[in-house]
Amino acid sequence: MDCGSDKVIYMDNNATTKIAPEVVDAMMPFLTDCYGNPSSMHTFGGQVGRYIEEARQSVADLIGAEPEEIVFTSCGTESDSTAILSALQTFPDKRHVVTTRVEHPAVKNLCENLDNLTGHKHRITRLPVESDGTLDLKRYEEALSDDTAIVSVMWANNETGVIFPVEEMAAMARERGILFHTDAVQAVGKIPINMTTNAVDFLSLSGHKLHAPKGVGVLYIRKGTPFIPFLNGGHQERGRRGGTENVASIIGLGRACSLAAEKMDEENTRVRALRDKLEKGLLSSIPKSLLNGHPTLRLPNTTNISFEFVEGEAILLHMNRYNICASSGSACTSGSLEPSHVLRAMGVPFTAAHGSIRFSLSIYNTEEEVDFVLDKMPGIIENLRQMSPFWNNGEA
Ligand SMILES: *Cc1c(COP(=O)(O)O)cnc(C)c1O
């Protein structure tokens, strides 16, 4: 099927990424000949288990963990749910959860449904953010209480790329005997993470955000952390996650993690430079454009820019004509007329929040692509503004 992948300028990598060709190669044998079940007694199946353990080691190496601390899951969302629900079952008398107002729907909507899911009433503290998307640690400290079962704070925001001080926050939670979970889906592979030097108890990651397939994720569970499985079934993953392993995708994730370790440097130099060129170019060539998010405490690949007095959806449609792929807010929140909960939490004015576009790059982007986007965007915004009732010759 020709889906046009050779024509697109793909700058939507926080929504999903291209599967690396090396990852496809590593997976192929397990989608064809090597179809045995790793739990089988015979060599044909059992040998597959050895490759799963190699993949587990590669994931562990990328984040400075032990292989025993890596549990394969079906996605980042499952990992998030598993960690939070486990902590609440571990401490049934603690009914308080601390999180933020800018979490991905995987955490946000779980927290909104906790009372229904557990049959208990919970108190949720959703920490506000500053206008640049950063957190106030003083407020965080004040939120922690004897009743807090778990803190769940993302490592990096999917919409703005803003990075939170999760290591500091995890240390503060540990001092008080509170479990700490981080949704690191956007951070893993983009910035260095070392679990040996932090106090994070649970960490979620997802394959399809780092050039592995969709439908595979990991929950890191620190050795010694109390844990109650979400999926009960067979003894897979040492009894911590039932269900026959998604073998090919797990192998693919392992390969993607070893690649990510190799490419981390490039991500933080070449990709960062492309992102910076794109960002500076757009902000300087398009009037009334604003950066959403802290200028430096940010992932190297992400920029979120508001073009005032135009609709994000309309901008995307015009970009689509040039085969430029990006997002307005989060892919999960588009389709509703409300501006993204992340930009609202940051207090981005209504007229700007509606015209926000997230560009998220990867190692597969080139300078020619950035130049092309820089060439096309001013015209797109200008044309849309000419049609906007709120825009008159550059004056709001
Ligand atoms: C994509 C994403 C998720 C969800 O991961 P899935 O594997 O798609 O379930 C969770 N958190 C963040 C920050 C994400 O960007």
- Within this chain, do residues 326 and 226 fall inside the same structural domain, yes or no? no
The rounded Å distance from CA 218 to ligand 1 centre is 11
- Where b means 16+ CB within 10 Å and e means fewer, 203-216 reads bbbbbbbbbbbeeb
- Within this chain, do residues 58 and 159 fall inside the same structural domain, yes or no? yes
Per-residue pLDDT tens over the stretch 97-109: 999 999 999 999 9
In 3D, which of 315, 316, 334, 333 has the Cα closest to residue 325? Answer: 316
pLDDT of 335 reads 55
Share of the chain above pLDDT 90, in %: 94
Residue 1 inside a domain? The answer is: no
The reply to whether ligand 1 has any atom less than 6 angstroms from the CB of 240 is no
Are 342 and 164 in contact by the 8 Å Cβ rule? The answer is no
The rounded Å distance from CA 104 to ligand 1 centre is 7
- Within this chain, do residues 245 and 279 fall inside the same structural domain, yes or no? no
pTM of the predicted structure, to 2 decimals: 0.97
Per-residue pLDDT tens over the stretch 346-362: 999 988 999 999 999 99
Range of the domain at 247: 21-259
- Within this chain, do residues 205 and 289 fall inside the same structural domain, yes or no? no
pLDDT of 330 reads 40
Per-residue pLDDT tens over the stretch 173-185: 999 999 999 999 9
Residue 394 inside a domain? The answer is: no
Write phi, then psi, for 94 (nearest 5 degrees): -95, 125
Domain boundary among the residues 215, 237, 259 is at 259
Q: Which residues pair with 291 in a beta bridge?
A: 305
- Within this chain, do residues 113 and 254 fall inside the same structural domain, yes or no? yes
pLDDT of 342 reads 97
The rounded Å distance from CA 300 to ligand 1 centre is 18
C-alpha angle 82/106/195, rounded to 5°? 60
Q: What is the domain-level CATH number for residue 316?
A: 3.90.1150.10
The reply to whether ligand 1 has any atom less than 6 angstroms from the CB of 302 is no
The reply to whether ligand 1 has any atom less than 6 angstroms from the CB of 126 is no
- Where b means 16+ CB within 10 Å and e means fewer, 52-66 reads bebbbbbbbebbebe
Catalytic residues: 332
The rounded Å distance from CA 169 to ligand 1 centre is 21
User: Any alpha helices (H) in 8-42, and if so which ranges?
Assistant: 21-31
Domain count, the chain: 2
C-alpha angle 88/185/91, rounded to 5°? 10
Instruction: Give the residue, by CA position, lying nearest to ligand 1 atom 14.
Output: 185
pLDDT of 337 reads 67
Residue 141 inside a domain? The answer is: yes
Residue 283 inside a domain? The answer is: yes
pLDDT of 331 reads 41
Residue 3 inside a domain? The answer is: no
Per-residue pLDDT tens over the stretch 290-342: 999 999 999 999 999 999 999 999 999 999 999 999 999 644 444 566 789 99
The reply to whether ligand 1 has any atom less than 6 angstroms from the CB of 161 is no
The reply to whether ligand 1 has any atom less than 6 angstroms from the CB of 181 is no
Q: Which residue from 13, 74, 77 has its CB within 8 A of the most atoms of ligand 1, so it is best to mutate?
A: 77
Per-residue pLDDT tens over the stretch 11-50: 999 999 999 999 999 999 999 999 999 999 999 999 999 9
The rounded Å distance from CA 182 to ligand 1 centre is 12
Domain boundary among the residues 259, 279, 300 is at 259
- Within this chain, do residues 237 and 273 fall inside the same structural domain, yes or no? no
Helices 247-266 and 21-31 cross at an angle (nearest 10°) of 170
Residue 118 inside a domain? The answer is: yes
Query: Which atom of ligand 1 is nearest to 206's Cα?
Result: 7
- Within this chain, do residues 107 and 77 fall inside the same structural domain, yes or no? yes
Please compute, for residue 391, the number of CA atoms within 13 A of its CA located in the half-sphere on the CB side. Answer: 19
The Cα–Cα gap between 302 and 267 comes to: 11
The reply to whether ligand 1 has any atom less than 6 angstroms from the CB of 209 is yes
- Within this chain, do residues 154 and 273 fall inside the same structural domain, yes or no? no
- Mode of pairing for the β-strands spanning 179-183 and 202-206: parallel
Mean pLDDT of the chain: 95
For the cut 90, the answer to whether the pLDDT of residue 390 exceeds it is no
- Within this chain, do residues 165 and 296 fall inside the same structural domain, yes or no? no
- Within this chain, do residues 251 and 317 fall inside the same structural domain, yes or no? no
- Within this chain, do residues 141 and 276 fall inside the same structural domain, yes or no? no
Local structure of 359: helix, strand or coil: strand
The rounded Å distance from CA 57 to ligand 1 centre is 22
State the average pLDDT over residues 186-196: 98
- Within this chain, do residues 214 and 193 fall inside the same structural domain, yes or no? yes
State the average pLDDT over residues 373-382: 98
Domain boundary among the residues 227, 259, 291 is at 259
Instruction: Give the residue, by CA position, lying nearest to ligand 1 atom 3.
Output: 76
Residue in this structure with the two tokens 């992102």, named with its chain if needed: 275
State the average pLDDT over residues 45-66: 98
Q: What is the domain-level CATH number for residue 209?
A: 3.40.640.10
Are 61 and 261 in contact by the 8 Å Cβ rule? The answer is yes
Instruction: Give the residue, by CA position, lying nearest to ligand 1 atom 10.
Output: 76
Helices first, then strands: H and E counts in the chain: 14, 12
The reply to whether ligand 1 has any atom less than 6 angstroms from the CB of 75 is yes
Residue 362 inside a domain? The answer is: yes
Share of the chain above pLDDT 70, in %: 96
The reply to whether ligand 1 has any atom less than 6 angstroms from the CB of 185 is yes
For the cut 60, the answer to whether the pLDDT of residue 132 exceeds it is yes
Residue 395 inside a domain? The answer is: no
In 3D, which of 264, 183, 165, 254 has the Cα closest to residue 220? Answer: 183
Per-residue pLDDT tens over the stretch 74-86: 999 999 999 999 9
